[in-house]
Chain A
Protein backbone atom coordinates (compact mmCIF):
# COMPACT_ATOMS: atom_id res chain seq x y z
CA UNK A 1 0.00 0.00 0.00
CA UNK A 2 1.34 3.42 -0.90
CA UNK A 3 1.44 5.76 2.08
CA UNK A 4 3.05 8.83 0.55
CA UNK A 5 1.43 10.98 -2.11
CA UNK A 6 3.34 13.59 -4.03
CA UNK A 7 0.86 16.26 -2.98
CA UNK A 8 1.94 15.60 0.62
CA UNK A 9 5.56 16.45 -0.05
CA UNK A 10 6.44 20.08 0.61
CA UNK A 11 9.43 22.39 0.89
CA UNK A 12 9.25 25.37 3.25
CA UNK A 13 11.72 28.14 3.85
CA UNK A 14 11.47 28.19 7.63
CA UNK A 15 9.34 27.74 10.73
CA UNK A 16 9.03 30.14 13.69
CA UNK A 17 9.94 27.37 16.15
CA UNK A 18 9.58 23.59 16.51
CA UNK A 19 5.88 23.85 17.38
CA UNK A 20 5.26 25.80 14.19
CA UNK A 21 7.34 23.25 12.26
CA UNK A 22 5.26 20.37 13.62
CA UNK A 23 2.04 22.19 12.66
CA UNK A 24 3.31 22.88 9.14
CA UNK A 25 4.42 19.27 8.72
CA UNK A 26 1.00 17.92 9.77
CA UNK A 27 -0.91 20.32 7.50
CA UNK A 28 -0.96 18.08 4.37
CA UNK A 29 -2.32 15.19 6.46
CA UNK A 30 -4.97 17.43 7.96
CA UNK A 31 -5.97 18.78 4.57
CA UNK A 32 -6.25 15.26 3.15
CA UNK A 33 -8.45 14.11 6.01
CA UNK A 34 -5.89 11.63 7.37
CA UNK A 35 -5.80 13.24 10.81
CA UNK A 36 -8.07 15.38 12.95
CA UNK A 37 -6.93 18.89 13.78
CA UNK A 38 -6.11 17.79 17.34
CA UNK A 39 -3.43 15.38 16.06
CA UNK A 40 -0.78 18.09 15.86
CA UNK A 41 -1.59 19.17 19.41
CA UNK A 42 -1.04 15.56 20.49
CA UNK A 43 2.41 15.53 18.93
CA UNK A 44 3.30 18.84 20.58
CA UNK A 45 2.00 17.65 23.97
CA UNK A 46 4.05 14.44 23.74
CA UNK A 47 7.20 16.42 23.03
CA UNK A 48 6.50 18.90 25.83
CA UNK A 49 6.02 15.98 28.21
CA UNK A 50 8.83 13.68 27.10
CA UNK A 51 11.36 15.74 25.17
CA UNK A 52 12.25 15.69 21.49
CA UNK A 53 12.27 11.91 20.97
CA UNK A 54 10.89 12.50 17.48
CA UNK A 55 14.31 13.78 16.35
CA UNK A 56 15.60 10.40 15.26
CA UNK A 57 18.94 11.55 13.84
CA UNK A 58 20.86 14.69 12.94
CA UNK A 59 18.62 16.72 10.56
CA UNK A 60 15.71 14.28 10.77
CA UNK A 61 12.46 14.45 12.75
CA UNK A 62 9.67 11.89 12.74
CA UNK A 63 6.67 13.67 14.24
CA UNK A 64 3.93 11.23 15.27
CA UNK A 65 1.40 10.64 18.00
CA UNK A 66 -0.78 7.74 19.14
CA UNK A 67 -3.68 6.57 16.93
CA UNK A 68 -6.14 7.67 19.61
CA UNK A 69 -4.72 11.19 19.53
CA UNK A 70 -6.57 11.88 16.29
CA UNK A 71 -5.22 9.70 13.48
CA UNK A 72 -7.89 8.78 10.92
CA UNK A 73 -5.95 6.93 8.19
CA UNK A 74 -2.36 5.74 8.00
CA UNK A 75 -0.43 8.19 5.83
CA UNK A 76 2.90 10.00 5.64
CA UNK A 77 3.87 13.53 4.70
CA UNK A 78 7.35 14.89 4.05
CA UNK A 79 8.40 18.46 4.80
CA UNK A 80 11.83 19.88 4.10
CA UNK A 81 12.70 23.16 5.79
CA UNK A 82 15.47 25.21 4.21
CA UNK A 83 16.46 26.56 7.61
CA UNK A 84 17.21 24.57 10.75
CA UNK A 85 14.48 23.92 13.29
CA UNK A 86 15.84 23.84 16.86
CA UNK A 87 14.40 21.58 19.56
CA UNK A 88 14.84 22.31 23.25
CA UNK A 89 16.87 19.53 24.81
CA UNK A 90 18.45 18.37 21.60
CA UNK A 91 21.77 19.74 20.40
CA UNK A 92 21.32 19.05 16.72
CA UNK A 93 18.52 20.75 14.79
CA UNK A 94 16.24 19.09 12.25
CA UNK A 95 15.30 20.04 8.69
CA UNK A 96 13.64 16.98 7.23
CA UNK A 97 10.29 16.16 8.84
CA UNK A 98 8.81 12.77 8.04
CA UNK A 99 5.39 13.07 9.59
CA UNK A 100 3.46 9.95 10.35
CA UNK A 101 -0.22 9.35 10.96
CA UNK A 102 -0.76 5.79 12.14
CA UNK A 103 -4.27 4.42 12.42
CA UNK A 104 -3.10 1.30 14.23
CA UNK A 105 0.12 -0.34 15.37
CA UNK A 106 0.76 -2.25 12.14
CA UNK A 107 -0.03 -0.60 8.82
CA UNK A 108 2.81 1.90 8.82
CA UNK A 109 5.63 -0.48 9.77
CA UNK A 110 6.64 -1.49 6.27
CA UNK A 111 6.88 2.13 5.13
CA UNK A 112 8.75 3.09 8.26
CA UNK A 113 11.31 0.35 7.80
CA UNK A 114 11.95 1.55 4.23
CA UNK A 115 12.28 5.15 5.42
CA UNK A 116 14.65 4.11 8.17
CA UNK A 117 16.80 2.19 5.76
CA UNK A 118 16.91 5.10 3.32
CA UNK A 119 17.82 7.60 6.03
CA UNK A 120 20.47 5.42 7.65
CA UNK A 121 22.80 6.45 4.82
CA UNK A 122 24.17 9.86 5.79
CA UNK A 123 25.25 10.68 2.25
CA UNK A 124 21.72 10.11 0.98
CA UNK A 125 20.40 12.33 3.77
CA UNK A 126 22.77 15.11 2.66
CA UNK A 127 21.43 14.79 -0.88
CA UNK A 128 17.82 14.79 0.27
CA UNK A 129 18.43 17.95 2.31
CA UNK A 130 19.66 19.66 -0.85
CA UNK A 131 16.62 18.73 -2.96
CA UNK A 132 16.00 21.71 -5.25
CA UNK A 133 12.28 21.08 -5.60
CA UNK A 134 9.41 18.94 -4.37
CA UNK A 135 9.45 16.65 -7.38
CA UNK A 136 13.03 15.60 -6.67
CA UNK A 137 12.37 15.35 -2.94
CA UNK A 138 9.43 13.03 -3.65
CA UNK A 139 11.54 10.78 -5.85
CA UNK A 140 13.70 9.74 -2.90
CA UNK A 141 10.62 8.44 -1.12
CA UNK A 142 8.66 7.26 -4.15
CA UNK A 143 8.66 3.59 -3.18
CA UNK A 144 7.05 4.29 0.18
Chain B
Protein backbone atom coordinates (compact mmCIF):
# COMPACT_ATOMS: atom_id res chain seq x y z
CA UNK B 1 0.00 0.00 0.00
CA UNK B 2 1.31 3.43 -0.88
CA UNK B 3 0.66 5.59 2.16
CA UNK B 4 3.63 7.94 2.02
CA UNK B 5 5.24 9.64 -0.94
CA UNK B 6 8.55 11.45 -0.72
CA UNK B 7 9.46 13.93 -3.46
CA UNK B 8 13.14 14.75 -3.46
CA UNK B 9 15.84 16.66 -5.28
CA UNK B 10 19.47 17.45 -4.58
CA UNK B 11 18.80 20.29 -2.19
CA UNK B 12 15.32 19.53 -0.87
CA UNK B 13 13.83 22.99 -1.20
CA UNK B 14 13.19 23.89 -4.80
CA UNK B 15 12.48 21.18 -7.29
CA UNK B 16 11.25 18.78 -4.62
CA UNK B 17 8.72 21.29 -3.33
CA UNK B 18 7.32 21.89 -6.80
CA UNK B 19 6.91 18.13 -7.19
CA UNK B 20 5.23 17.83 -3.79
CA UNK B 21 2.73 20.50 -4.68
CA UNK B 22 1.92 18.91 -8.01
CA UNK B 23 1.75 15.41 -6.51
CA UNK B 24 -0.88 16.65 -4.07
CA UNK B 25 -2.88 18.23 -6.90
CA UNK B 26 -2.58 15.05 -8.98
CA UNK B 27 -3.75 12.81 -6.12
CA UNK B 28 -6.73 15.07 -5.63
CA UNK B 29 -7.55 14.88 -9.35
CA UNK B 30 -7.25 11.10 -9.18
CA UNK B 31 -9.50 10.94 -6.14
CA UNK B 32 -6.81 9.25 -4.04
CA UNK B 33 -7.02 10.13 -0.35
CA UNK B 34 -5.11 9.37 2.80
CA UNK B 35 -1.63 9.58 1.27
CA UNK B 36 1.02 11.69 2.96
CA UNK B 37 3.23 13.68 0.59
CA UNK B 38 6.40 15.43 1.68
CA UNK B 39 9.57 16.84 0.13
CA UNK B 40 13.13 16.31 1.16
CA UNK B 41 16.73 16.03 0.05
CA UNK B 42 18.41 13.06 -1.54
CA UNK B 43 20.14 12.38 1.79
CA UNK B 44 16.80 11.30 3.27
CA UNK B 45 16.16 8.76 0.54
CA UNK B 46 16.67 5.52 2.45
CA UNK B 47 14.73 2.26 2.48
CA UNK B 48 11.57 2.67 4.52
CA UNK B 49 11.52 6.48 4.33
CA UNK B 50 8.49 6.32 2.01
CA UNK B 51 6.42 3.84 0.02
CA UNK B 52 7.02 5.73 -3.20
CA UNK B 53 9.75 8.18 -4.19
CA UNK B 54 9.24 10.91 -6.80
CA UNK B 55 12.20 12.70 -8.39
CA UNK B 56 13.60 14.03 -11.64
CA UNK B 57 14.25 11.32 -14.21
CA UNK B 58 18.03 11.47 -13.78
CA UNK B 59 17.80 10.72 -10.03
CA UNK B 60 15.70 7.55 -10.42
CA UNK B 61 18.69 5.18 -10.08
CA UNK B 62 19.44 6.76 -6.66
CA UNK B 63 15.83 6.39 -5.58
CA UNK B 64 15.46 2.79 -6.66
CA UNK B 65 18.07 1.80 -4.11
CA UNK B 66 15.59 2.90 -1.44
CA UNK B 67 12.38 1.59 -2.97
CA UNK B 68 9.80 2.13 -5.64
CA UNK B 69 10.36 5.33 -7.61
CA UNK B 70 8.96 7.38 -10.44
CA UNK B 71 11.00 9.87 -12.43
CA UNK B 72 9.69 13.03 -14.05
CA UNK B 73 10.92 14.82 -17.14
CA UNK B 74 8.73 17.85 -16.66
CA UNK B 75 8.38 18.73 -13.00
CA UNK B 76 5.85 21.51 -13.47
CA UNK B 77 3.51 19.32 -15.53
CA UNK B 78 0.51 18.08 -13.56
CA UNK B 79 -0.37 15.81 -16.48
CA UNK B 80 2.89 13.84 -16.36
CA UNK B 81 2.89 13.34 -12.60
CA UNK B 82 -0.79 12.42 -12.65
CA UNK B 83 -0.27 9.74 -15.30
CA UNK B 84 2.73 8.28 -13.52
CA UNK B 85 1.10 8.31 -10.10
CA UNK B 86 -2.00 6.67 -11.55
CA UNK B 87 0.14 3.87 -13.00
CA UNK B 88 2.03 3.45 -9.73
CA UNK B 89 -1.16 3.19 -7.69
CA UNK B 90 -2.74 0.77 -10.16
CA UNK B 91 0.35 -1.41 -10.01
CA UNK B 92 0.30 -1.17 -6.24
CA UNK B 93 -3.24 -2.47 -6.05
CA UNK B 94 -2.77 -5.23 -8.61
Number of A residues near B (Cβ < 8 Å) is: 31
Nearest Cβ in chain B — how far from A88, in angstroms?
Answer: 10
Chain B 1-39 interface 0/1 with A at a Cβ cutoff of 8 Å (1 = within): 000000001111111011001100000000000000000
The distance from the CB of A79 to the nearest CB of chain B, in whole angstroms, is 16
Q: Does B56 contact A (CB under 8 A)?
A: yes
- Number of inter-chain CB pairs below 8 Å: 78
Contact of B58 among A65, A90, A112, A119 (CB under 8 A): A90
Give Cα A65–Cα B14 distance, bound, in whole angstroms.
Answer: 8
Query: Mostly helix, strand, loop or mixed at chain B's interface?
Result: mixed
A113 at the interface (CB under 8 A from B): yes
Q: Which residues of A contact B41 (CB under 8 A)?
A: 66
> A116-B22, A120-B77 are contacts. A53–B17 as well, Cβ < 8 Å?
no
**Residue interface mask B45-81, A partner, CB < 8 A = 1:** 0000000000110110010000000000111111000
Residues on B close to A: CB < 8 A? 9-15, 17-18, 21-22, 41-42, 55-56, 58-59, 62, 73-78
Closest 8 A-B residue pairs measured CB to CB?
A: A51-B58, A56-B75, A64-B14, A50-B10, A57-B74, A53-B56, A120-B76, A116-B18
